Amino acid sequence: MTVAIAHPNIALIKYWGKQPGPGNLPATPSLSVTLEGMRTTTSVEPWGVDTLVLNGTESADPKISQFLALLRQQFDIPPLKIDTSNDFPTGAGLASSASGFAALMTAINAQCELGLSACAISGWARQGSASAARSVFGGFVSLGAPNWEAKQEFDASHWPLNVLVAVTSDVRKHTSSTQGMTISANTSPYFNAWTETAADDFQSAKDAIRHKDFESLAKVAEHSSMKMHALMLSSQPALIYWNAGSLEALAKISELQSDGLDVFATMDAGPQVKAVCTESAAPAVSEALNALPNILRVVHTRLGPGATTVAV
Ligand code: 2P0
């Protein structure tokens, strides 16, 4: 048996939409931070028939079945029991598929002795879920043209940002990211504007991170997040991932910014709000978010490492 762990990542520059054709290639470059405070733990072992246990319950997941079928076109992989669990809400906009496929591919590579490099593991993980390519690496990670290979831009020690996740719901989302992206690409009149402006945002964010320029990073990251949600809202049917707690958290973060705190907000395909801030701002941000009526809890995380196997 092999056990691997991987952490979710939060995109500061968002991926939403795919290129046509095979390989699950994103339509937009993305840039993320890998988080240490939440983890997926996945074990794999040879078994009579493929079996998936998700958070303690035997489950069927077509994405995982398709992923195994794709891998088996290239590698000799026996039937496997995959036992995977998250210590955070699954399918609720906390990038569980990112850490899930990163942990799964890391475990399969070791268990089946595939001998793949981290870059190749990431390439396979991307085919399971594009954001998973980023969770193979720690710190600040890019996924962009021309190769669409994830790459660590800076390790976690480069800039010790904190992320406070304001959890506003533990309910699984109504529309998966994969479905949502197709709906947006096919129906939103803003889709071309989204893809045309993404490369500039990506470059600005990389520059801001290199220079540890919080104000510039905050500006471009909030813009990327809000543009993605404008795209979601302008899709037909509209993809509304926010709830009352999301709006409360966004308003509070804006207020904290006006008070001079180094903090910005970003949201994904779910109602949780992630407040990214400097180490010194974190206690005040945490206290302010915890005091809001519709916030269930606040998870405080720092930047963390990439996916690894662990001894059993
Ligand atoms: C991101 N998200 O960059 C964006 C922001 C959600 C919002 O990547 O279809 O689960 O499996 O490649 O990676 C979520 O999408 O989608 C995602 P697939 P994935 O983090």
pLDDT in tens, 121-161: 999 999 999 999 999 999 999 999 999 999 999 999 999 99
Same domain, 45 and 147: yes
Residue 146's Cα: distance from chain center in Å?
21
pLDDT at 301: 93
| Any ligand 1 atom below 6 A from CB of 97 | yes
CA distances from 103 to 57, 67, 148, 245 (A): 18, 13, 20, 30
pLDDT at 88: 79
CA distances from 7 to 16, 140, 217, 302, 305 (A): 20, 13, 22, 11, 8
Same domain, 178 and 267: yes
Same domain, 167 and 217: yes
* Residue 310 included in any domain: no
**Of ligand 1's atoms, which has the minimum distance to the CA of residue 176?**
10
Same domain, 277 and 188: yes
Tokens of 276: 């990214």
pLDDT under 70: residue ranges of the chain = 89-93
* Cα 130 to middle of ligand 1, angstroms: 6
Across the beta sheet with 9-13, the strand order is 9-13, 30-34, 140-144, 149-154
* Cα 110 to middle of ligand 1, angstroms: 25
The residue range of the domain holding 12 is 2-157
Choose one of 103, 122, 157: the last residue of a domain. Answer: 157
pLDDT single digits (tens) 34-72 = 999 899 999 999 999 999 999 999 999 999 999 999 999
pLDDT at 93: 61
* Residue 309 included in any domain: no
pLDDT at 92: 57
Mean pLDDT of the chain: 96
CATH number of the domain that 245 lies in?
Answer: 3.30.70.890
* Residue 307 included in any domain: no
Same domain, 293 and 206: yes
**Of ligand 1's atoms, which has the minimum distance to the CA of residue 14?**
3
pLDDT at 234: 98
Same domain, 140 and 193: no
